[in-house]
């Protein structure tokens, strides 16, 4: 049982123990640098250990910090340097929780791996297992699990996927778990809240001043660090006040240039996908698409790696995950491609 120190994985562990499973709690030590929030803090490891003790199950800490640096932190920094907007939580799931941890579980002889994600395991018409949306739509985490294939899903347990967050907290309170009222972390766990993203990146890459231009190429402002700018951003662009609001349409890190335009200029007919993966077989044709963790699904058609919207939609920042669904089942997904590949 992957125990992050949060309420969801605490309750998941309790439910599995109640069901008669021989449960061992495991917390991953992922980050060796300064970290004060999310599953990278010392407090969260201690919370997981104490919940495991409360439940009467063994608890271990696996040190995957080297893999985390190579597979999550370094690509996060490189993406910003290239003008992309990464999602490190997805890469952590891809490379650590559902690769490195699963391989460690295999080596130790465990039958299954469980997590506290708000998602379910569903099946399509021919019985193929797929990630499915969790019961609580407001907390659904199927988006961040789009990379899981049938082999992984065949041995994965998601005990809280059938519960709402309120039910999870009530179960934790009923069991007297210390995490019952613990707040959720919404930020990148390895970026300290006291210093922030600019400081974190500035210690690892040079942050360059960037020109802000309109669609005609006329310079209209500047940004202190082009590496911190993302598509759709409105503030911090050094633009004159008043007038029609302008938004970031494009970030060209190679020339340190940010292009801005009006809200209507953010609309596009489609996008290209990089690193497209499928939970089983490839799918082409109509799909339902989600472009952020809690974004509203939008209808589109997929042809090859090109996604065409049924109705124009706001641009998706390069590097963001684009997840493809059929009803509540995840078909697969990829990353929004950059115009400057």
User: Rg of the chain over CA atoms, in angstroms?
Assistant: 21
Distance, CA of 182 to CA of 198 (rounded, Å): 27
Q: Give the residue among 43, 70, 11 at the shortest CA–CA distance from 185.
A: 43
* Ramachandran angles phi, psi of 192, nearest 5°: -60, 135
Which of 39, 40, 189, 291 does the annotation list as catalytic? 189
- Residue showing tokens 């669609």: 215
Residues in a beta bridge with 252:
257
| Neighbour tally for 277: CB within 10 Å | 15
Q: 253, 319 in Cβ contact below 8 A? A: no
Report residue 108 as tokens.
């130790």
Report residue 259 as tokens.
């292009």
189 is catalytic: yes
Burial of 107 (0-12, 13-18, 19+ CB in 10 A): exposed
Measured distance between the N- and C-terminal CA atoms of the chain, rounded to whole angstroms: 40
Q: Which residues are catalytic?
A: 92, 189
């Amino acid at each position: 049982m992957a125990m992050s120190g949060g309420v969801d994985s605490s309750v998941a562990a309790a439910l599995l123990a109640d069901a008669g499973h021989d449960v061992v709690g495991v917390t991953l030590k992922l980050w060796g640098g300064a970290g004060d929030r999310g599953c990278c803090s010392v407090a969260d490891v201690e919370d997981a250990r104490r919940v495991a003790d409360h439940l009467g199950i063994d608890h271990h800490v696996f040190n995957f910090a080297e893999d985390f640096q190579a597979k999550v932190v370094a690509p996060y920094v490189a993406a910003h340097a290239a003008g992309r907007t990464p999602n490190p939580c997805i890469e952590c799931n891809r490379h650590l929780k559902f690769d490195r941890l699963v391989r460690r579980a295999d080596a130790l002889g465990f039958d299954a791996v469980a997590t506290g994600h708000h998602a379910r395991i569903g099946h399509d018409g021919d019985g193929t297992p797929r990630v499915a949306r969790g019961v609580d739509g407001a907390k659904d985490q199927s988006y961040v699990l789009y990379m899981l294939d049938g082999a992984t899903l065949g041995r994965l347990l998601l005990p809280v996927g059938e519960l709402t967050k309120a039910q999870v907290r009530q179960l934790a309170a009923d069991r007297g778990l210390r995490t019952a009222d613990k707040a959720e972390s919404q930020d990148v766990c390895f970026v300290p809240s006291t210093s922030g993203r600019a400081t974190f990146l500035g210690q690892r890459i040079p942050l360059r001043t960037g020109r802000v231009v309109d669609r005609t190429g006329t310079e209209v402002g500047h940004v202190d660090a082009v590496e911190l700018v993302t598509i759709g951003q409105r503030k911090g662009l050094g633009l004159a006040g008043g007038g029609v609001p302008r938004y970031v349409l494009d970030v060209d890190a190679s020339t340190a240039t940010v292009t801005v335009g009006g809200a209507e200029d953010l609309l596009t007919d489609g996008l290209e996908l990089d690193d497209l993966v499928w939970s089983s077989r490839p799918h082409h044709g109509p799909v339902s698409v989600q472009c952020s963790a809690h974004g509203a699904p939008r209808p589109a058609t997929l042809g090859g790696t090109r996604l065409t919207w049924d109705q124009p939609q706001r641009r998706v920042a390069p590097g963001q995950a684009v997840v493809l669904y059929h009803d509540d089942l995840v078909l697969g997904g990829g990353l929004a491609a950059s115009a400057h590949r």
